[in-house]
Structure 1
Amino acid sequence: MTRLSWLLDADPALRWQVERDLAHEPPEVWEATRARIATEGFGARLLALQDPDGQWAGGAFFPAGFDFHGPEAAEGAGQPWTATTWTLDSLREWGMDPAVLRERRTVELLDRNCRWEYDDLPYWGGEVDCCINAWTVQNGLWLGADVTGIVDWFVEHRLPDGGWNCQWVEGSTRSSFHSTLNSLKGLLSYDAATGGTDATRAARRAGEEYLLARGLFRRLSTGEPVAPWVNRFSYPFRWFYSVLNAAEHFRRASLLDGTPPDPRMADAIELIRAERQPDGTWLQARRHPGRVWFEVDVPPGEPSKWLTLYGTRVLDWWDAAARSAR
C-alpha cells in the first residue's frame, strides 16, 4: 500500500481529513465521508455511550463516583478519559456534525444536569483550570452554547509573561507550555467562529509570542529544551504539549490570519521532520495512561495514522510556504 492508501483505509473520523488535506479531494467527497462519523466507527460508538441526561460516564471531567484518593488517582495511573468533556473533545476534533448533538439537546441537558467537580460550578460557565476552560470554549462554540464569559476569563487571567498556567490558583505566576497551548486553542476557536475582539486577538497573539519566543520547545533562560516530552508524539493529544501539537495550532492560526509561518518555528519543525520514518509515517511514542472507552490509535512503537496525518499536514504547510517565499 502507498502511504496515502494506507491513511485512507481508516475510520471516517480520520479518513475525511486525509481526503481533504492530503488527497485534496473535492468537498463532495470528504463531506460525504465526514457525514458518516455519526453512524459508523469511533463517532457512532461514542454517541451510543451518551447518558440520557446528556453526559458521558456521569460526570463533567471525571466519571461519576471517581475516587480521588484511590488507586486510579495514584501518581502515574493516569486520569480517566471517559467523562463528558473528553468525549465532546473527541467528537469535535474528529469533525462530528454538531447538529447531531443539538438534536439530542446536549447543550440544554448539560446545562441542567452537568456540574464541574470543582465547587459544583455550572458546566457552560467553566471553572478555574485553563485547559478545562479552553475545551469548554471550543465545545460550546461547536454546539452553540454561550461561552462568552469563559472567553472573557482568558483575557483576564493571562499571566504577565504572556501565557497561562493552570496552577495559577496555587499561586504560579509563570506560564506553562501545556496550559498556554490549550488556552490558545480555545481563543483561536473563538476568533475563527466570531471574528474575535481586540482583546481576544491581543491575548492570543501574546500567548503565541510566548511560545514563539521559545522556539516552541526551549527555555527562554538557557535555550535548552524545556523537557524530553517536546518531541514524544502520541495520539490522542489530550492535554499534553509537543512541538507537533503546537505546530498544528500555528498552522491553523496561519490559515485563519492569512499570515506565513513564523521563522522562529524552524527548529521545532525539524524536530517533527526528524521523527518521520523512512516510509513517511510517524510512530506512536506512548499511550497516556488512564481509563478509555476504547482505543483509537495503535500501541507504542507502531506507525500511527493519526500522527502521520498531523505530521504530514504540518510539514506540507511549512514546506509550501518555504517554496513560495523563494
Structure 2
Amino acid sequence: MDEVVEYLRSGDPAIRWQVLRDLTDASADDIARERARVADEGWGAQLLAEQSADGRWDGGTYRPGWADESRPFFDAWTATHFSLQQLMDFGIDPGDPRVRAAIARVRENVRWEHDNEPYFEGETEPCINGTALAVAAYFGEDGHAIAETLLASQLPDGGWNCWDEDGTSASSFHSTICALEGLWAWEQSGTVQDPDAAATTRRRGEEYLLERSLLRRVSNGALIDPRFGMASYPVRWYFDYLRALEYFRLARPEGDPRCGEAVALLRSAQLPMGLWSLELTHEGPRLFSFEQEGEGRPSRWVTLRALRVLRWADSWA
C-alpha cells in the first residue's frame, strides 16, 4: 500500500493533493500547499491556459468551434463544458485569483449553443445540466436555474433521461448519474432554498441506481451494458460503476449493501502490484492526455478513485 501511495504521489499535482487528502494522514497545511500547485503547474495550469479571452475553450460551449461549419459534429472533449468539468476533477482551488478570473469570463460571456442561454443558467438535457450544476456549485456560482430544470425533469421511475420528450421515458444511467452529482453538489453549497425537497428528489434518483445494484436490469437481473462494469477516465457524460461508487462514497457515507456487487467487482479488478487499469476510454478529441495512459494500462486516476472507494466500503461492508 505504501508503494502504491508513493507511486500516486509521483504524479501530477491534481492527483498528489487528492492522495494526501483521501489516502494519508497529511496535515491540512500540507494538503492546501499541494492543492495550490494545481493552478501553477501540470495539467491544471495547462488547462487554464487554454481558455480564450471570450471565456471559452476551443471556440465552443458544448461543441468545439461551434461557428466553424468545417468542423464535424461529434463527441469532443475540448470545449468549455468538459474543460470546466475537468478543472473540477483536478480539484483546482476555486478561490485562486486565476481561477476566479477564468470563471468570471465564463459567467459574463459563455452561452449555450442550444438557445443562447448563459452557461450558469443551464440547458435542457439533464446529463448536461447535472454537470453544469456541479460546476456552478464547485466554483461558487448561482446554479438555481439549472437545479430547477433538473428537479422538474425527474421521471416517474426516479431517474433522468436526456432523450425524454414527454415525461414518460425510462431513465438512463448516464443522465441519472450526471443529475445526481449536480444535485448533491448543489445541496453541499448551502444555497438551496428547500433542502428537504431537493434531498427527497436526489434520494429517489439514488434509489433508481441502487435498485439495479448499479449494474443490472430490474426485470431480469441481466447486466445492462458491459461498459458499465469498466472503469473509465475522464468520465465525461458516461456512467460506469466506479463513477457511481465515487458518488455514493460522498452522498451515502454510511454505505449501502446494494453497492456490494460493484464493490466486489472493483476489488477483483485490482492488479497484482496493487494498481488498477484504465479499462475504457471515451473516444473523441481532447486537449491533452494523462501521463500516456491508455486502455489496459495502469492508471493513477483509476487507482486513486478505487482506493478511496474501498476505504469507504471497508467502513461499512
Give TM-score, length-normalised by structure 2: 0.93
Question: Runs of 5+ in structure 1 lacking a partner?
Answer: none
Instruction: Indicate yes or no: 2:263 matched with 1:265.
Output: no
Alignment correspondent of 2:209: 211
Could you tell which deviates more after superposition, 40-49 or 167-176?
167-176
Distance (whole Å) between structure 2 residues aligned to residue 102 and residue 133 of structure 1: 25
Q: 1:293 aligns with which of 287, 307, 317?
A: 287
Alignment correspondent of 2:238: 240
Please give the secondary structure, in 2, of the residue aligned with 1:308: helix
Q: How many residues are paired up?
A: 313
Instruction: Indicate yes or no: 2:61 matched with 1:63.
Output: no
Q: In structure 2, give the amino acid aligned to 1:64.
A: G
Q: CA deviation at 1:183?
A: 0.4
Report matched runs for 1:272-291 at 5 Å: 272-291=266-285
Distance (whole Å) between structure 2 residues aligned to residue 286 and residue 110 of structure 1: 31
Q: CA deviation at 1:79?
A: 1.1
Alignment correspondent of 2:196: 198
Distance (whole Å) between structure 1 residues aligned to residue 206 and residue 95 of structure 2: 32
Q: In structure 1, give the amino acid aligned to 2:307.
A: T
Q: In structure 2, give the amino acid aligned to 1:204.
A: R
Distance (whole Å) between structure 1 residues aligned to residue 275 and residue 67 of structure 2: 37
Q: CA deviation at 1:286?
A: 2.8
Instruction: Indicate yes or no: 2:115 matched with 1:119.
Output: yes
Distance (whole Å) between structure 2 residues aligned to residue 293 and residue 106 of structure 1: 17
Instruction: Indicate yes or no: 2:32 matched with 1:8.
Output: no
Contact 1:61 1:83 in 2 (8 A): yes
Compared CA separation, residues 47 and 242, structure 1 to 2 (3 A): same
Contact 1:101 1:143 in 2 (8 A): no
Alignment correspondent of 2:300: 305
Distance (whole Å) between structure 1 residues aligned to residue 268 and residue 116 of structure 2: 45
Distance (whole Å) between structure 2 residues aligned to residue 171 and residue 321 of structure 1: 37
- Alpha-carbon displacement from aligned partner over 1:53-109 (angstroms, at most 9, x marks no partner): 111112111112466896x43xxxx51101111111111111111123676544443
Please give the secondary structure, in 2, of the residue aligned with 1:224: coil
Q: In structure 1, give the amino acid aligned to 2:20.
A: E
Contact 1:165 1:172 in 2 (8 A): no
Alignment correspondent of 2:44: 43
Q: CA deviation at 1:154?
A: 1.4
Alignment correspondent of 1:177: 173
Compared CA separation, residues 103 and 69, structure 1 to 2 (3 A): closer
Q: CA deviation at 1:41?
A: 0.2
Distance (whole Å) between structure 2 residues aligned to residue 137 and residue 169 of structure 1: 21
Contact 2:51 2:102 in 1 (8 A): no
Alignment correspondent of 2:314: 319
Give TM-score, length-normalised by structure 1: 0.90
Q: In structure 2, give the amino acid aligned to 1:230.
A: F
Contact 2:155 2:169 in 1 (8 A): yes
Contact 2:159 2:176 in 1 (8 A): yes
Please give the secondary structure, in 2, of the residue aligned with 1:237: coil
Q: CA deviation at 1:131?
A: 1.4
Q: CA deviation at 1:316?
A: 1.4
Compared CA separation, residues 272 and 227, structure 1 to 2 (3 A): same
Contact 1:81 1:292 in 2 (8 A): yes
Q: In structure 2, give the amino acid aligned to 1:253.
A: A
Could you tell which deviates more after superposition, 211-220 or 312-321?
312-321
Q: In structure 2, give the amino acid aligned to 1:249.
A: Y
Question: Runs of 5+ in structure 2 lacking a partner?
Answer: none
Please give the secondary structure, in 2, of the residue aligned with 1:169: coil
- Alpha-carbon displacement from aligned partner over 1:246-291 (angstroms, at most 9, x marks no partner): 0000001124xxxx21111111111111111122111111321111
Q: CA deviation at 1:170?
A: 7.5
Could you tell which deviates more after superposition, 279-288 or 180-189?
279-288
Distance (whole Å) between structure 2 residues aligned to residue 34 and residue 5 of structure 1: 17
Alignment correspondent of 1:83: 79
Q: In structure 2, give the amino acid aligned to 1:237.
A: V
Alignment correspondent of 1:152: 148
Please give the secondary structure, in 2, of the residue aligned with 1:283: coil
Please give the secondary structure, in 2, of the residue aligned with 1:282: coil
Distance (whole Å) between structure 1 residues aligned to residue 251 and residue 42 of structure 2: 30
Q: In structure 1, give the amino acid aligned to 2:12.
A: D
Bigger helix fraction: 1
Q: CA deviation at 1:180?
A: 0.5
Compared CA separation, residues 210 and 53, structure 1 to 2 (3 A): same
Q: CA RMSD in A?
A: 2.0
Q: CA deviation at 1:295?
A: 0.2
Q: In structure 2, give the amino acid aligned to 1:200.
A: A
Distance (whole Å) between structure 1 residues aligned to residue 178 and residue 305 of structure 2: 17
- Alpha-carbon displacement from aligned partner over 1:110-135 (angstroms, at most 9, x marks no partner): 34322111122222111111111111
